[in-house]
Amino acid sequence: MKKKILDLIKKKNKQKIVSLTAYSKNIASILDNHCDIVLVGDSLGSVLYNYKSTREVSIDMMIEHSKSVRKGIKKALMVVDMPHNTYRNSKEALKNAKKIISQTKCDAVKLEGGKKIYKVVKTLIKNKIPVMGHLGLLPQSDKTFKFKGKQKIERDKILQESQLLEKAGVFSIVLECIETSLAKIITRSINIPTIGIGASKYCDGQILVFDDLIGLNPIDYKFVRKYLNIRKEISMAISNYSKDVRKNKFPSKKHSY
C-alpha cells in the first residue's frame, strides 16, 4: 500500500482528515496546501455541466479533469471517482480503473456501494489498485435525495456493508448523509477512516464540494457551511471591470504595450 495511504490510515483517532473536491489545476494547487485528500468527484456533472445527475458523467470527462488536477497536486492524496456504469463487474472495473490511474496518475479510485461491489473491490485491491468506498446516500444509484439511517433495517445494512468494505480492502469510506449516531457507530466499529459529508462530526474526516464551500454554487444544502460568498465578490469585480471598459478607463497606459 502506498505511503500516502498508510499515513492517512494512521490519522484515525488521532487527527481529523480534511478533504475537498477539485476539477482543475488552479483550484487543486490551492487545496494541496490544506487538504489531506483532493477528490476529483463526479459531482462535476452537476457543478460544472448542469447535468441532472452524476449518472451522465463519462469516464473520459473524469480523466480529462483529473489530468488537470494532477498538475496542481504535490502533497495531497488524489482520489478519482469511477463514474456510473464503469464498474458493473470485475473485468470492466479493472479495465477502467487501470485506464484512470495510468492516464491521470491518481493515487486511488472511489466506488459507490457495499455488498454489490464487494467482488469488484477485491479484484481491484488484488491488482494493487487502492480503493476508497462510499456508503449512505449514493448519487449514482439513488433516485431521491434523502438522508440514510432512520430505519433499523437500513442502519444495519449500512453498518454491515462498512465492515464488508473494510474486509474487501478499502483504505477509507465516505459516509454521505447518514444519521449522526450511525456515523458514530460505524466510525468506531472499523479500523479505517470514515470521511463524512452530511454525516456528523464523529467521522474521522470531512469532505465538501469546493464550489459549495465558497458559495459559487447558489444551491443550499443542510450539511454545507459556506465559508465565503464568492458569487458576490465575482459580481463586484465584473461590475467594476465593465464600468471601466465603458468609461474607457481600461486598458490604461499601464496595461498596454
pLDDT tens-digit readout, 112-171: 999 999 999 999 999 999 999 999 999 999 978 788 999 999 999 999 999 999 999 999
Same domain, 251 and 152: no
pLDDT of residue 18: 98
Number of domains in the chain: 2
pLDDT of residue 219: 77
pLDDT tens-digit readout, 228-250: 999 999 999 999 999 999 999 99
Query: Three-state SS for 176?
Result: strand
Same domain, 167 and 257: no
- Count Cβ atoms below 10 Å from residue 153 Cβ, excluding itself: 6
Query: Residues 6 or more apart from 222 whose CB is under 8 A from it?
Result: 198
Query: At residue 1, does pLDDT exceed 90?
Result: no
The whole domain housing 26 covers 3-226
Query: Three-state SS for 71?
Result: coil
Omega into 251 within 30° of 0, i.e. cis? yes
Same domain, 257 and 213: no
pLDDT of residue 26: 98
Tell whether the torsion through CA atoms of 144, 119, 41 and 151 is positive or negative.
positive
pLDDT of residue 39: 98
What is the 3-class SS of 116-139, one letter each residue?
Answer: HHHHHHHHHHHCCCCEEEEEECCC
Q: Report yes or no: 148 and 178 within 8 Å, Cβ to Cβ.
A: yes
pLDDT of residue 20: 98
pLDDT tens-digit readout, 61-90: 999 999 999 999 999 999 999 999 999 999
pLDDT of residue 237: 97
Same domain, 15 and 137: yes
* Nearest alpha carbon to residue 40 among 119, 105, 122: 105
| Max Cα-Cα span within the chain | 70
Same domain, 61 and 164: yes
Active-site residues: which are they?
176
| Residue 3 pLDDT class (50, 70, 90 cuts) | confident
Same domain, 169 and 242: no
pTM exceeding 0.85:
yes
Same domain, 219 and 253: no
Query: Three-state SS for 37?
Result: strand
Query: At residue 44, does pLDDT exceed 90?
Result: yes
- The pLDDT mean for the chain works out to 96
Across residues 91-111, what is the average pLDDT? 98
Same domain, 80 and 150: yes
Same domain, 56 and 120: yes
Query: Three-state SS for 255?
Result: helix
Same domain, 243 and 218: no
Same domain, 159 and 249: no
3-state helix, strand, coil in the chain (%, to 5): 45, 15, 40
Can you give the CATH number for the domain in which 178 is found? 3.20.20.60
Same domain, 212 and 169: yes
